Amino acid sequence: MQRFIINKKNHIMILSAVLISSAFLSKWTAQNMEIFVWFMAAASVLGVLPIAIQAYQALRVKVVSIELLVTIAVAGAFAIKNFEESAIVTFLFLFGAYLEQRTLNKTRSAIKELVEMAPESALKLMDNGEFEEVDIEEVDAGDILLVKTGAKIPVDGTVLSGEGYVNEAGITGESLPVSKQKDSKVYAGTILENGTIQIMAERVGEDTTFGRIIELVEEAQDSKSEVERFIDKFSKYYTPAVLVLSAIVLFLSRNIELAITILVLGCPGALVIGVPVSNVAGIGNGARYGVLLKGSEVINDFSRVDTMVFDKTGTLTIGNPKVADMEFYTENPDEISGYLASVEKESDHPLAKAVLEYIGDTRLYTVEKTDVVKGSGIIALVNGHRIAVGNKALMERENVNLDEKVRTDIARFQQKGNSIVLTAVDGKIEMLMGIRDRIRPGVKEDLKKLKELGVKNLTVLSGDNQGTVDLVARELDLTEAHGHMLPEDKAAYIKELQEKGRIVAFVGDGVNDSPSIALAQIGIAMGGGTDVAIETSDVVLMNSDFSRLPHALGLAKATARNMRQNIIIAVGVVLVLLAGVFLSEWMNMSIGMLVHEASILAVILNGMRLLRYSLKT
C-alpha cells in the first residue's frame, strides 16, 4: 500500500488541487462553509499521506527528513482545525516535488542523451559469410561488423574496408563529420552519416570509449564534494534542530500555529538540493562539449587552479615530429643509415618513428642486443658494432668524443627548436639528426584564454633539450620552460610547486605523464592519449582537443560560482522567512511553503543555466 501511494503521488496532487479548487468555489459562490471545510480536510488527509509515508521511511533509517517537518506541521494545523493552511501546504509540497523532479531530469539531459545513443544491435559476419543483425551483447572482440549509412557504430574498432563520414559529436563534442577509410579508428555510439564500412571489433560493451564516457559521467554526477558532504551532515542535524526550536517556541508562547509555521519555514530543501543540481548540470554541460569532469570535488579544485603545467609532445605540439635537419660525419652514409634504422625499429618512441619515416627503405641488419637508457636513448649491437643512438647525455656516458664541429652543429640545430638524435658507431660520432614537432594550431589563443580565466603561471616540461623547450615557450608566451625532464623530474617539479602553495593542474597524454597527472591537484588527460593517463586523470579532453581546455576551466569556475549562489539563496530565504515569523503579522504556513518551494525552484533553475554555458570569446 505504501508503494502504491508513493507511485500515485502525482495523481494525489491533482486530486488535492481539484478538492481545494472546489472548496474555494463553494465558499465564493454559494457561501457554503461546510463543504469548504470538508473538502479542505479531505485534501489535507489525502495530500499528507505520501508525505507521511516518506517521513516514516526516512525515520526507519534514522533520518529526520523534511517530510517529517511537513507531516508534523500539517497534523498540528489539522488539530487546530486550520484545514485551509494544511491543505494548501500539502498541495504546494507535492507540486513542488513534481516540479523539482521535472527540472532535475532536464539537468541530467546530457547523460540521458548519451545513454540513448548507446547502440543496441549490430550487423555481424556469420560463419555462412552473411551479415546478420544480432544484439550488441553477442558481439565479441575480433568480430567483423558491417555499418551502413545512418547507423550507429556499435563498437570501438578499426575500418577494414569502405569509406564514409562519421558524426563523432557524442564522443568528442566535434560537430563536423570525420572522414574514415581503411585503418581509421571508429568509436561506439558515433553515427555513420554516409558510406558503408566494415570494421573489426576491438572493444565492446562497457570497455568501449563510449561505455567508459557514460560510466565516468554517471560516477561524476553521483559524486559528492566536501561542500555537499558538509551540507548533508549539516542538514542531518539542522532538521532536528528545527523540531527542537519549534517545540521551544510552543512551550514559551503556547502558540501552536506559530510553532507549526516555524516547522514549515525551517525546511532546508533548497540548501540540500542547490549544490548537487549545479554539480549535475556542470558535468552534463562538459559531457556535451567533449570534456569529462570526474566529480564535484574535481570541479571545486579545478576552479581554483592558478598554475598549469604542460607536457610538450602531444599536448602543446601535435606529437608527430619530422626530421628537419641532418649532418653526416662519415664516408658511408648508407651503411650508417642502415644501422640507425635497424636500431630505431626496436623502439616505439615518436622520434624513432620520425627517423624511420625519413630514412625510408634501406638495408636492415640483425640487432643482437639492445639496452634502453631511460631519457637518453638506445645502445645496441648491430653487425658486430656497438651502436649508440640518443642525445648528448648518452654520448657523454658512452665516452664518445664530440669535436668542435659536432658541438657547433648541435647548438645550431637546437636554436631551430630541434630535438637532437646522435648516432655513434664503436665510440665515434657518425650522424646528427634534428627532429622538430609542430605546435598545435590555436594553442597560443587557448593559452591566452586560460590567462584571462585567472591562471597566473603556464609552464612546459619536456624530455627534449632546453633549446627546443625554450623555443616553444617563447612562441607561446609561457611563464617557464624546463627541458631534459625525466618522468620522475616532472613529478618532483609538481611537488615543489605544491609545497610553494600553488594549486597545480598538469596536462599530458602519455604513460610517462601518469605520475604527474596523478600527483597534481588536477590531472588533465588528452583523450586521444593512453588509457593509463585517462584513468589517472581528473579531467579528460576528448579527441585530444586542446581547445576544450579553456571551456573546461571556465565551466568549472562557473559551476563553483553557481554552487555558492545556490547556498546563498537557500540560506538567505530561510533566514528571511524565520525573521518574517517574528517581525511581521502576514507570515503563515501557506506563504512559507510557497516561498520554500519557490526557493527550491530558484536554485534548480539557477543550476540549469550551466547547461547553456559556453565560454565567451
3-state per-residue secondary structure call for 177-230: CEEECCCCEECCCCEEEEEEEEEEEEECHHHCHHHHHHHHHHHHHHCCCHHHHH
- Rounded to whole angstroms, the Cα distance separating 563 from 607 reads 8
Q: Hunting for cell 558515433 — which residue is that?
A: 190
Q: What is the torsional sign of CA 512, 518, 519, 523?
A: positive
What does DSSP say about strands 322-328 and 522-526: parallel, antiparallel, or unpaired? unpaired
Render 218-272 in DSSP notation, one character per residue: HHHHH---HHHHHHHHHHHHHHHHHHHHHHHHHHHH--HHHHHHHHHHT--HHHH
- Rounded to whole angstroms, the Cα distance separating 56 from 6 reads 12
Read off the amino acid at residue 27. Answer: K
Q: What is the DSSP letter of 368?
A: E
Catalytic residue flag (residue 311): yes
Task: Show Cβ contacts of residue 568 under 8 Å, excluding neighbours closer than 6 positions.
Answer: none
Three-class SS state of 472: helix
Do residues 328 and 337 lie in contact, with contact meaning Cβ atoms separated by under 8 Å? Answer: no
- Rounded to whole angstroms, the Cα distance separating 70 from 511 reads 55
- Rounded to whole angstroms, the Cα distance separating 573 from 495 reads 43
Read off the amino acid at residue 36. Answer: F
- Rounded to whole angstroms, the Cα distance separating 218 from 609 reads 20
Render 281-316 in DSSP notation, one character per residue: HHHHHHHHTTEEE--HHHHHHHTT--EEEEEIIIII
Bridge partners, 377 (sequence order): 373, 390
- Rounded to whole angstroms, the Cα distance separating 289 from 238 reads 38
Measured between alpha carbons, how far is residue 560 from residues 12, 53, 541 in Å?
37, 35, 20
Exposure on the CB side of residue 50, measured as CA atoms within 13 A: 21
Task: Show Cβ contacts of residue 434 under 8 Å, excluding neighbours closer than 6 positions.
Answer: 323, 324, 325, 326, 413, 416, 418, 419, 420, 421
Catalytic option among 143, 156, 301, 311: 311
Q: Which residues are catalytic?
A: 311
